Amino acid sequence: MFNDENDFQSRRDKLHEMPLFKKGQEIVEVITQIADLIPEDDEVLQTTMSMILRDAYLLTAKIANAESGEFYDIKMQNAAIIRKAAMDLIVSYHSLKMHGFEHADYYLMVRGMLEEYRLLFVDWVDGFDKNTYLVDRWNMFNPPGVHYTDEDPDLGWDDDDDFDINDFFGDDEEDDLPF
């Protein structure tokens, strides 16, 4: 995927400069500061906050996954996970309130940041290349107008005729393969 270390560094730098990625990092930072206010002996709130932090980290991790490839269907799959995590973060305020977190109102800042994130997210998704995809046979993440029964587009790749499993596992007998 990466031709050399410079290519990796260039993609990493580009990712870290994306407004959406930066906003995701800001959200993680604020949630981490709020998490520090939770009493260590409150197991319920600690567990609740660990779920909130997991969702917050998904905001950037799944952008990185989506940006590491070019396929529309993979980008959309990651976008759906991001959307779910963001929606869970929005309603997490109620969990904090319900469990008696005395500083729950600080979390309202996160909700405002998530609205900013949502607008950046919409622009990001609108920028996905709808012409570079493999057909999603589950029919969830196909570009508009593509159905799971359609043929995969010709992306200019060579067929797998030259594929030889022994290139990966040596010249052992097939019976010795690990699967």
pLDDT at 178: 54
**pLDDT at residue 8, rounded to an integer:** 77
Total of domains in the chain: 1
DSSP track, the chain: --SSHHHHHHHHHHHHH-HHHHHHHHHHHHHHHHHTTS-TT-HHHHHHHHHHHHHHHHHHHHHHHHHT---HHHHHHHHHHHHHHHHHHHHHHHHHHHTT-TTGGGHHHHHHHHHHHHHHHHHHHHTS-TTS----TTSSSPPTT--TTSPPP--SPPPGGG--THHHHTT--GGGS--
- For residue 41, is it within any domain? yes
| 20 located within any domain | yes
Residue 113 lies in a domain: yes
Position 142 in a domain: no
**108 part of a folded domain:** yes
Is residue 26 domain-resident? yes
User: How much is the pLDDT for 10?
Assistant: 86
Q: What's the confidence (pLDDT) of residue 37?
A: 97
Residue 9's pLDDT is what? 84
What CATH number has the domain bearing residue 64?
1.20.1440.60
- Positions in the chain short of pLDDT 50: 179
Residue 149 included in any domain: no
With respect to residue 25, please indicate whether it lies within any of the assigned structural domains.
Answer: yes
pLDDT per position as a tens digit, 3-51: 667 877 888 899 999 999 999 999 999 999 999 999 999 999 999 999 9
pTM over 0.75: yes
